[in-house]
Amino acid sequence: MPTQPTTTPNQPGHRQRPGDVPPTHPRRPRGALNNLDLFWQRVTAGMELTELWSQFKRDAQSGYKFYQRDFDLQDVAGQPKGKAFIQRVKAFMWAVLEKLTPARRVLLLIGVVLLILPSGGVQFHKATHDVQIVTPNFQFWGGVALFLVLILEIADRVVMKRDLEIARDIQSWLLPSTPPLVPGLTIAFATRPANTVAGDYYDAFPRLAATPDEPTLLLAVADVAGKSIPAALLMATFQASLKTLSTTGCTLEQLVSGMNNYACCNSQGGLRFTTAFIGEYQPGSRLLQYTNAGHNNPVLRRGSGAIERLDAGGLPLGIQQNVAYASGEVTLVSGDWLIIFTDGLVEAVNGAGEEYGEQRMIAVLTANAALAPDLLLDRMIFDVNTFVGPTPQHDDITCMLIKVA
């Protein structure tokens, strides 16, 4: 008789017969795995581990620099390493404590003390299902105290973040979203704040009141000393004074002098000064009259490749009242490029402490002079990002590119 081939229940071709034990397959808790994956994706916002580590390093560096401003490392210079380390830790802890309210300082100290006390114990009775604390669990209550400090600080941060987002929206209303259409010129601009709000300002708008027969174009790029909310508030006053004075029939020198007198009233004795470049362009003659009030010299790259810097002007606005400002003039021709920028662009620093510098900026312009201004500006910002790498941005970056057709 032919022998019946034998197969095991796990082999292909096996038929289930009476008496066979159905094969068992290991089951994966798909629901739990999916929930865990969703939880992790929500916590990490979909970021990879390398991205999370880079973000943590940036946050740690910026956080340390924030607290470091409140203690002087020169006090530990020349001391033994061990003693210097202890002094740094003490200074750092005091810098952290002083950022909290007195009540939260006490709560934080209680939590830290409880964490370092000997551990307590917990006993569970199976028969009665009772939990009995054998000795006080100081670590548990220390963790609770630290958690309370954490949620209180998070609440403050959320409120502040919401207010900053509102301020950012308001600030965006003060800046043009699209460049104006000007015969013979193509304009592009971009800004990137170091924080939620910035102290940089840029604008390009027609000045109708000055010459009604042939409206001129007013160009402005400014940088308020400092960052974040104080600089953003002064930037708003700069915008208001520029818009107001530009509607009068004053000359460019008178306009800048008037803005300087107004800035002196709000600069805290010159501490909150503003550097600015303000130019007035006449489309018919292609003449650009400008005043540079202590700002980074804009770079004019001629079609021939020659480089000129627009430096005529005077002191930054808000330092000295009733000071005279000079003006300069250049005639733009076809093929010229004009770059007006703030110091955050050329002073962007990489991990080695090197600055991006004007030469790299000009090299990017020279290599991409055939591009449209918006594309070239994207290329320039990309080059800055590549140079800086993961190093935190320390200053606002603003750039205006103008190409002469």
More confident residue, 402 or 28: 402
List the domains of the chain with CATH numbers.
177-404 (3.60.40.10)
Per cent of the chain over pLDDT 90 is 39
Do residues 44 and 52 lie in contact, with contact meaning Cβ atoms separated by under 8 Å? yes
Range in 53-57, 261-265, 310-314, 384-388 with the lowest mean pLDDT = 53-57
Asked if the model's pLDDT at residue 267 lies above 80, the reply is: no
Cβ within 8 Å of residue 368, ≥6 positions away: 375, 376, 379
pTM for the model: 0.69
Asked if the model's pLDDT at residue 82 lies above 60, the reply is: yes
Asked if the model's pLDDT at residue 3 lies above 50, the reply is: no
For residues 203-215, give the mean pLDDT.
74
pLDDT for the residue 287: 94
Cβ within 8 Å of residue 135, ≥6 positions away: 120, 121
pLDDT for the residue 7: 47
More confident residue, 119 or 319: 319
For residues 118-132, give the mean pLDDT.
62
Cβ within 8 Å of residue 334, ≥6 positions away: 303, 404, 405
What six digits make up the tokens of 270? 């010159």
Give long-range contacts, CB 8 A cutoff, 24+ apart: 383-392: 384/345, 384/348, 384/356, 387/348, 387/350, 387/356, 387/360, 388/348, 388/349, 388/350, 388/356, 389/350, 389/351, 390/54, 390/57, 390/58, 390/351, 391/349, 391/350, 391/351, 392/58, 392/61, 392/62
For residues 99-128, give the mean pLDDT.
76
More confident residue, 385 or 271: 385
CB atoms within 10 A of CB 154: 10
Q: What is the pLDDT of residues 212-261, one digit of tens each?
A: 567 899 999 999 987 778 888 889 889 999 999 998 888 999 999 999 99
The whole-chain average pLDDT of the chain stands at: 83
Q: What is the pLDDT of residues 339-382, one digit of tens each?
A: 999 999 999 999 888 999 999 999 999 999 999 999 999 999 99
Q: Which of 302, 295, 294 is nearest to 346 (CA)?
A: 295
